[in-house]
Amino acid sequence: MRRVGIVGVGEYLPKKVLTNADLEKMVQTSDEWITTRTGIKQRRLAAKDEASSDLAIKAGRRALEDARLNPKDLELIIVATITPDMHFPSTACFVQANLGAKKAVCFDVSAACAGFVYALTIAQQFISRGVYKNALIIGAEVLSTITDWEDRNTCVLFGDGAGAAVVAEVKSGGGLSTYLGSDGTKADLLMIPGGGSRNPSTHETINKRLHYLKMQGNEVFKIAVKIMTEAAREALKQADLECSDVDLVIPHQANIRIIMAMAKKLDLPPERIYLNIEKYGNVSSASTAIALCEAVKTGRIKKGDIVLLDAFGSGLVWGACVIKW
């Protein structure tokens, strides 16, 4: 089995910033309410002509440049997204075409906020077994297109953006363990009811606003803390490591209270938790990817560090992975 690690990272955030003050003019809310309950101060919004593939292409190109890999030599592209450009073809196909990665196999992964961890796990399996030499994995979302801007409980949470990583064989370090899980019995806690084959698009589904994200926030909160804690412990156990061995945890940036509750259960000090939720909000599958890129670029992650990625999302699905940088 080949040793597999991340050899390049990149991110892209749209230029438009939507602050809590802006939201105060749109729905009945306040900066204080949003900040104390979520930790979010602002989020990015894609331009009207920016789809998920546009964000993914820019993040992916930066990751390839960081890895010094020519797109023509790229063998696999996996895009994690719940806001694809369209039902089909896959967003990854649009990325492939625009990057000029003609020989890359490409497909999408729908694992909501755990999408980037799922994509990383899949890429590791292909490369470790010698099926492909390298892969570009991307988390890309334009959540503003599925957000109900009249629902004050959800519209304050989400933003747009993309993060990417190039995965390849490495001589040292690399992925030490991965742990994935799912519980479909709780699918109703976070979903978009309309637009699929269950509730095809009609005037009725549109009038009922079923094409927007629906969430039972309190229930998701309680489960998320438990799931992320258990996923972290299981991934560390598989790597034969303790929480005290971890140099930096990069959690899914959903809610500051979820993250800090998880950190408390794991007995991890705040300085070992990477946070950027204040700037970007919840960017679903792109959240962990963007945070990872920032942590690398700002020197929070150094060679030899033990890094833990930990995420959960709609499905319910969750995933954690341990990496030695």
Among the listed residues 106, 255, 282, 321, the single catalytic one is 282
Residues 40 and 168 in one domain: yes
Among the listed residues 93, 106, 113, 155, the single catalytic one is 113
End residue of a domain, out of 129, 145, 172: 172
Active site residue 98: no
Check whether residue 123 and residue 269 sit in a common domain. no
Q: Per-residue pLDDT for the chain (325 aa), expressed as one digit of tens each?
A: 899 999 999 999 999 999 999 999 999 999 999 999 999 999 999 999 999 999 999 999 999 999 999 999 999 999 999 999 999 999 999 999 999 999 999 999 999 999 999 999 999 999 999 999 999 999 999 999 999 999 999 999 999 999 999 999 999 999 999 999 999 999 999 999 999 999 999 999 989 999 999 999 889 998 999 999 999 999 999 999 999 999 999 999 999 999 999 999 999 999 999 999 999 999 999 999 999 999 999 999 999 999 999 999 999 999 999 999 9
Q: What is the DSSP string of 75-123?
A: -EEEEE-SS-SSSSS-HHHHHHHHHT-TT-EEEEE--GGGHHHHHHHHH
Dihedral sign, Cα of residue 46, residue 198, residue 107, residue 310? positive
For residue 218, indicate whether it is catalytic. no
Give the orientation angle of helix 91-99 with respect to helix 52-67, to 10 degrees.
Answer: 50
Which domain covers residue 268, as residue numbers? Answer: 176-324
Catalytic choice (155, 252, 293, 321): 252
- 81 vs 78: CA distance, rounded Å: 10
- How far apart CA 60 and CA 136 sit, in angstroms, is 7
Q: Are residues 299 and 189 in the same domain?
A: yes
Domain tally, the chain? 2
* 252 annotated active-site: yes
Would you list the DSSP string of 224-292? HHHHHHHHHHHHHHHTT--GGG-SEEEE--S-HHHHHHHHHHTT--GGGB---HHHH-B-THHHHHHHH
- Domain boundary among the residues 118, 145, 172 is at 172
Closest CA to 34 of 156, 160, 215: 156
* 9 and 137, same domain (yes or no): yes
Same-domain pairing of 230 and 311: yes
Where a domain ends, among 142, 172, 202? 172
**CATH code of the domain covering residue 25:** 3.40.47.10
Tokens matching residue 179: 């742990």
